[in-house]
A and B are shown apart, each in its own frame.
Chain A
Amino acid sequence: MKIEYLAKIRDAMGCPSETVNLPHGVTTASDLLVWLAARNGRSASAFLDRANIHVALDDRIANRGDELAGVQTVTLFPPVTGG
């Protein structure tokens, strides 16, 4: 599964995207955020404000409880600030 990081999350992670193999038990967007945050210090810092991270699954805005099964690309981004 490809994970894209946008804006300040990308800066915090130090990369625009990565490909991961999800461990057993990571089945929802919420699970993914918890797993990513627990991987290492850099991830923990990037996902410190986890409640305010938005998720898109295959380019569709998603909810935290949405299932990851069959999803190819997850996009994680902070609150928007355009306009």
Chain B
Amino acid sequence: MTVCLQSEPFDVAHELKLLVGDEVGAVASFVGHVRGTGGLVELFLEHHERLTPAGLAAVEQDTMRRWALCGLTIIHRVGALVPDDAIVLVAASSAHRADALAAVEFAIDRLKTEVPLWKRERFANGEARWVEPRDDDAERAARWG
């Protein structure tokens, strides 16, 4: 299992390869990227040095408990990112596809609504604003009970 908070970019192909093994029949993944719409020039990911790692670990533990997985990787970047940068990777491996696919969806839904991380957008015109939570993120997370 890999749970990591880092400012450096991650290598998706490398991370997915690490999840492959003799008992693995499926690897599913989600990669979130910075959108460059609306003149956005920077997305800053703020975290808390103790609450954020604890939140990621809780998502990892709940995901492993809920689904029959061989492996799970959650990597979230922090600090200043630019359009097209990858923000987050959630990847899961399992014997059959259903568990890996569901686990990835569950983990990213939980992460987006429960892990202490905050986005601040900065635009080409000099404006900056904190991103507000989206109702549909909360609705998606609520589906899991």
Contact = CB atoms under 8 A, between A and B. Distances in A.
Q: Do A and B come from one complex?
A: yes
A74 to B, nearest CB: 12
| Chain B contact residues: helix, strand, loop or mixed | mixed
Interface string B100-129: 000000001001111111111000000000
A15 to B, nearest CB: 15
A13 interface: no
Contacts of B115: 80, 82-83
Contact of B32 (A54, A61, A77, A83): A83
Interface stretch (B8-16, B21-29, B62-70, B130-138): B130-138
B98 to A, nearest CB: 23
B113 A80 contact: yes
Contacts of B116: 6, 54, 56, 77, 80, 82
Interface residues of B, number: 27
Given A78-B118, A78-B130, A83 B51 contact: no
B132 A77 contact: no
Interface residues of A, number: 17
Contacts of B119: 81-82
Given A82-B88, A83-B111, A7 B130 contact: yes
Contact of A80 (B32, B117, B120): B117
A59 B54 CA distance: 9
Contacts of A80: 112-118, 133
Given A82-B76, A83-B32, A83-B112, A75 B48 contact: yes
Interface of B: 32, 45-48, 50-51, 54, 76, 87-88, 108, 111-120, 130-133, 137
Interface of A: 4, 6-8, 11, 54, 56, 59, 61, 75, 77-83
10 contacts: A4-B48, A7-B46, A8-B130, A56-B51, A59-B50, A77-B48, A81-B131, A82-B45, A82-B117, A83-B115
